[in-house]
Structure 1
Amino acid sequence: MYCAFTLLFPVILLVSFCMADSAYIHEHFLPCLSQHFSNSTSRSKLIYTPNDKSYFEILNSTIQNPRFSSPLNPNLCIIITHFHASQVQATVNCSQKHGIETRIRSGGHDSEGFSYVSDVLFVILDLRNLRSIKIDVDQKLAWVEDGATLGEVYYSIAKKSENLGFPAGVCPTVCVGGHFSGGGYGHLMRKYGLAVDNIIDAKLVNIEGRILDRQSMGEDLFWPICGGGAVSFGVVLSWKIRLVYVQSKVTVFSLVRNLELNETKKLVHKWQYIPINLMMIC
């Protein structure tokens, strides 16, 4: 009997906390959001709670690490899939007002779970619907929203010009939000640097719910969001990027060598001369 009680008590306690949190969310946080969302997209397409049928489908739709796809996450209360910057502002303001932490998700490629777990009550700001891409070929510039994938960025640029590109990663489903804010390694970095080396502006919602650009946020804030993890400083809505020149045709090949025959040293030595020669050709 004692063992049964010790196992059951934590479960009862957990359920009690969840019920209390759920009541607080429905009585205070959701009404706050509704005041701002009333004239925009319907609530059913924006806000997902554990009581909604599509809640777990939305939660698991972009999770890359299945460790964080468990429905037993007592601190996650709501997922909000924003369509407009004003909705992001409202979520930040309501979260601050009611003491609810926020986690930001764009593409879901978060192996460590920072977008999915917290020690306190939190909501997920899902930016999947903020994926607009506007390209200015003449100026060789583009504005890219945080939820756009790298594949969408590359495709949009290629449709406009066969000689413009952007130096970022190779996984097409990674979104620019996490990729840019983490630095952005890619195959073009020897010639053009990281993705963040080609970011010239950004729009961000700060902790006060204000939308800032590079000038209004200042270099002390713009610098860390470019490579230092933007979610620590606010919610980035979009990035202004500088496009770079690329060849219209690219050759891709694989080179297979047997490392057991002590060819590693020769292979590494040979490789040192290939990139520099390619750069001279380009």
Structure 2
Amino acid sequence: MGHPRRTLLSFICSAFLVLVAASRWARGDEPFTQCLIQNSHLSHPISSVIYTPNNSSYSSVLQSYIRNLRFNTSTTPKPIVIITALHISHVQASIICAREHSLQMKIRSGGHDYEGISYYSLSTPFFILDMLNLRSIEVDVGSETAWVQAGATLGEVYYRIAEKSRTHGFPAGVCPTVGVGGHFSGGGYGNMMRKYGLSVDNIVDAQMVDVNGRLLDRESMGEDLFWAIRGGGGASFGVILAYKINLVPVPETVTVFRVEKTLEQNATEIVYKWEQVAPHLDEDLFIRLIIDVVNSTIQTGKKTIRASFLALFLGNTTRLLSITNESFPELGLKPSDCIEMTWVESVLYWTAFPTGTPVEALLSRTPQVLTHLKRKSDYGKEPIPKEGLEYIFKRMIELERPALTFNPYGGKMAEISPAETPFPHRAGNLWKIQYATNWDEDGEEAANYYIGLTRKLYDYMTPFVSKNPREAFLNYRDLDLGINHNGNASYMEGTVYGVKYFKGNFKRLVRIKTKVDPGNFFRNEQSIPTLLHRRK
């Protein structure tokens, strides 16, 4: 990241400019709003979906999809306008008028960007194009496809698929309130990736609006742009309206389990064995490993490590136990640990809903937990030796709060070329790691403290993860990897984080970006840069 004093100065200047912009609106100077109204269709007026700071609903509309409380403070830069589009013409008018009035556009679908850059900006002035109303889902079981608009949530997608079929699903995330737009365009992964790959590996068409306001589909946008918006971050290239996805077959009965082990229960040995087998198990079996710090039940006042093994198996308990007994007996999985259910019910289980929760809970757009958070990511190429695990566990107990989640690869993930989509992390990776720290305290001091703990754990993990580059996952947005100020140094700044997210695919993304958006209108703090900065 940049120098702390420079970053602070940039933030202060940004906040000042936002206040200046807001004061212009307070005086009634509304050229942007007038432009929007003039460019909207009479049959689909836009005035009812424009929210300015003078509107009584402005704050509630802004805050309703802020999923990281770090960016819901009085000092967080605020948009001068929020547009909750109801029609494609609203999206087109937003682009045309933003270009005319030199406003930065932020595109929000579900608001789960870990660094909040779908709804706040270090540059000013900016506005939010909120996709929450564009959330239709059309499932066609006959063709085993569905058209899904960007404002839909994953929970809504799963529910609508299950409405039509008990034997179809889709490989995407396990958090039901995540928005489709950002999740799919950044890659999208879930607990069926070892069987079916990522979300982007199962997208066959798309609709988007480009920088000139044109509505494009796969045929009219061309294969290069279609490639780019499947894992390269759609917000760098246009406004994604919808994706057409291929449904995947799932059995009528799946099995889930969660087994927990502490250090006193031989967690180190079991985690070491998990490293050896998890990426190589039957592709119907996905066992996530979560490592966190808990109070010891044996030594009063002491902390210990808890290793949780959370699994989805695309089959019944009998076949699952035959696999684990042969390949992973150290886990000690018993029939009583296993719960059989439908695939859509398993999504609720994985999201920690109580067993038996009605599947209608997937339609809720309210997260179960809303907190302050920091996330980071890594990729593992080699098993961590036992001594390394012991070192990591010792450091985690010292830090207490950060947790680690290991998501095993292998199966389909190792069969797809790293150049097939912008997402490059394929064969050669054993697992993806997420660093997660949550906290309830408000304020910058608390944020700096907990973010600092997360960065320390990330540093401690350096010997055990990928190198040159140290790879990262775009959907786990992390501004520690670099910030693009979208000035004359945009390409160089973009390269810093770009090669970590995309490796060799970054150069192709830059070429496509330069072709379709040479003026760099679609930009954010970690967008794909153009080869030559020529903003218009």
TM-score between both structures, scaled by the size of structure 2: 0.47
Correspondence for 1:82: 85
Contact 1:59 1:69 in 2 (8 A): no
Aligned pair partner of 1:246 in 240, 243, 250:
250
Correspondence for 1:140: 144
Cα deviation, residue 73, structure 1: 5.1
Correspondence for 1:6: none
Alpha-carbon distance in 2 for matches of 1:55, 1:151: 26
Correspondence for 1:29: 32
Structure 2 residue 200 is the aligned partner of structure 1 residue 158: no
Correspondence for 2:173: 169
- Deviates most, 54-63 or 108-117: 108-117
Alpha-carbon distance in 2 for matches of 1:186, 1:28: 44
Flag the 1:267–1:99 CA change in 2: closer, same or farther, 3 A: closer
What number of residue pairs does the alignment pair up? 271
Alpha-carbon distance in 1 for matches of 2:233, 2:127: 19
Q: Write the letter of the residue equivalent to 1:231.
A: A
Structure 2 residue 55 is the aligned partner of structure 1 residue 52: yes
Alpha-carbon distance in 2 for matches of 1:281, 1:173: 23
Contact 2:250 2:314 in 1 (8 A): no
User: What SS does the aligned partner of 1:143 have?
Assistant: strand
Contact 1:133 1:142 in 2 (8 A): yes
Structure 2 residue 97 is the aligned partner of structure 1 residue 91: no
User: What SS does the aligned partner of 1:77 have?
Assistant: coil
Alpha-carbon distance in 2 for matches of 1:97, 1:147: 26
Contact 2:41 2:89 in 1 (8 A): no
Alpha-carbon distance in 2 for matches of 1:67, 1:260: 36
Flag the 1:141–1:37 CA change in 2: closer, same or farther, 3 A: same
Correspondence for 1:266: 270
Structure 2 residue 227 is the aligned partner of structure 1 residue 209: no
User: What SS does the aligned partner of 2:181 have?
Assistant: helix
Contact 2:147 2:244 in 1 (8 A): yes
Q: Write the letter of the residue equivalent to 2:104.
A: E
User: What SS does the aligned partner of 1:144 have?
Assistant: strand
User: What's the RMSD between the two structures over aligned residues?
Assistant: 2.6
Deviation readout 1:31-54 (Å, 9 max, x if unpaired): 111123462456564010000111
Q: Structure 2 regions of 5+ residues with no counterpart?
A: 1-12, 286-312, 316-536
Correspondence for 2:116: 113
Q: Write the letter of the residue equivalent to 2:138.
A: K
Deviation readout 1:107-146 (Å, 9 max, x if unpaired): 0002212111131211100000000000110110000000
Q: Write the letter of the residue equivalent to 2:202.
A: N
Identity rate, percent = 52
Q: After TM superposition, which residue ranges in structure 1, 4 or more long, deviate above 6 angstroms?
A: none
- Deviates most, 160-169 or 249-258: 249-258
Correspondence for 2:134: 130
Contact 2:253 2:314 in 1 (8 A): no
Cα deviation, residue 18, structure 1: 3.0
Correspondence for 1:103: 106
Alpha-carbon distance in 2 for matches of 1:157, 1:15: 43
